[in-house]
Chain A
Amino acid sequence: MGENKIVSYFRSFRFKDHSLGMAFIILIVIATFVGWPNFLKVRNLTNILRQISYTGIISLGMTLIIISGGIDLSVGSMAAFVGGISIFFLNLFGPTSTLGIVLTFLFALVLGSACGALNGIMVSKFKMAPFIVTLGTMSIFRSLIQYFSNAGTILSVNMDYGKLGSSMFLGLPIPVWCFIIVGLVLHVVLNHTSFGRYLCATGSNEQVAKYSAINIAIVKFLPYVITGFTVGVTAVMWSSRLNCINPSDCAGYEMDAIAAAVIGGTLMSGGKGSIIGTMMGAVMLGIINNMLVMGGISAFLQQAVKGFVIIVAVLLQYNNSNK
Chain B
Amino acid sequence: MGEPTILLELEGIIKEFSSVRVLDRVSFGIQAGEIMGLIGENGAGKSTLIKIISGIYQKTDGVIRLGGQTTEIPDYITAKKLGIGIVPQEFNLINYLTVYENIFLGSELHKGLLLDKGAMRSEAGAQLKMLKMPLDVNKHVSELSVAEKQMVEIAKAMILDARFLIFDEPTTTLTAVEVQTLFDLMRKLKQKGVTMIFVSHKLQEILTICDRVTVLRDGKLVSVDRVEDLTTQTLAKKMVGRDFNQVFPDKIDSTGKPKILEVESLSSGSVIKDISFNLRKGEILGFAGLVGAGRTETMEALMGLRKAEKGSVRIQGKTVKIRSAKDAVAHGLGYISEDRQGKGIVMNYDIPKNISLISLKEKYLKRGLIDKTKEDEASEHYIKEFRIVAASKKSQLRFFSGGNQQKVYLSRWMDTDPSILILDEPTRGIDINSKKEIYEFIHRLAEAEISCIIISSEMEEIIGMCNRVYVMREGRMAGCLEKEQVTEENIVFQATGIKKV
Chain A interface residues toward B at CB < 8 A: 188, 192-194, 197-198, 200-201, 204-205, 207-215, 271-272
Contacts and interface: CB of A to CB of B under 8 A. Distances in A.
B369 A188 contact: yes
Contacts of A188: 369
28 contacts: A193-B368, A193-B370, A194-B360, A194-B370, A197-B357, A197-B360, A197-B370, A198-B360, A200-B348, A200-B349, A201-B349, A204-B346, A204-B349, A205-B342, A205-B343, A208-B342, A208-B343, A209-B346, A210-B305, A210-B343, A211-B305, A211-B325, A211-B344, A212-B358, A212-B412, A213-B325, A213-B328, A213-B329
A211 B343 contact: yes
Contacts of B305: 210-211
Given A193-B368, A194-B370, A213-B328, A205 B361 contact: no
Nearest to B345: A208
Given A194-B361, A197-B357, A201-B346, A210 B325 contact: yes
B389 to A, nearest CB: 21
A294 B329 CA distance: 60
B256 to A, nearest CB: 33
Interface in B338-388: 339, 342-349, 353, 356-358, 360-361, 365, 368-370
B337 A211 contact: yes
Interface of B: 305, 324-326, 328-329, 335, 337, 339, 342-349, 353, 356-358, 360-361, 365, 368-370, 412
A197 B375 CA distance: 13
Nearest to A202: B346
Contacts of B358: 212-213
A160 B501 CA distance: 88
A108 to B, nearest CB: 26
A201 B357 contact: yes
Contact of A272 (B329, B339, B348, B357): B348
A212 B361 CA distance: 12
Contacts of B353: 197
Main secondary structure of the interface of A (DSSP, over half): helix
A215 B324 CA distance: 9
Contacts of B365: 194
Contacts of B344: 208, 211
Contact of A211 (B335, B347, B349, B361): B335
Contacts of B368: 193
Contacts of A210: 305, 325, 343
Given A194-B370, A207-B343, A212 B325 contact: yes
B371 to A, nearest CB: 9
Contacts of A194: 360-361, 365, 370
A225 to B, nearest CB: 18
Contacts of A211: 305, 325, 335, 337, 343-344
A182 B264 CA distance: 52
Contacts of A214: 325, 357
Contact of B342 (A193, A207, A212, A213): A207
Contact of B347 (A193, A205, A212): A205
Contacts of B328: 213
Nearest to B336: A211
A293 to B, nearest CB: 39
B348 A204 contact: yes
A270 B375 CA distance: 24
Contact of A192 (B335, B342, B346, B369): B369
A204 B412 CA distance: 17
Contacts of A272: 348
Contacts of B361: 194
Contact of A271 (B335, B348, B412): B348
A192 B356 CA distance: 13
A272 to B, nearest CB: 6
B304 to A, nearest CB: 9
A22 to B, nearest CB: 22
A104 B326 CA distance: 40
Contacts of A207: 339, 342-343
A185 to B, nearest CB: 12
B349 A192 contact: no
A215 B357 contact: no
A210 to B, nearest CB: 7
Contacts of B326: 213, 215
B455 to A, nearest CB: 15
A210 B328 CA distance: 12
Contacts of A197: 353, 356-357, 360, 370
Nearest to B333: A213
B351 to A, nearest CB: 14
A192 B367 CA distance: 11
Contacts of B325: 210-214
A173 to B, nearest CB: 30
A309 to B, nearest CB: 25
Given A194-B365, A200-B348, 20 more contacts: A188-B369, A192-B370, A197-B356, A197-B360, A201-B349, A205-B342, A205-B343, A205-B346, A205-B347, A207-B339, A208-B345, A210-B343, A211-B305, A211-B344, A213-B324, A213-B328, A215-B324, A215-B326, A271-B348, A272-B348
Contacts of B360: 194, 197-198
Contacts of B346: 200-201, 204-205, 208-209
A282 B339 CA distance: 39
A209 B360 CA distance: 13
Contacts of A215: 324, 326
B349 to A, nearest CB: 7
B325 to A, nearest CB: 4
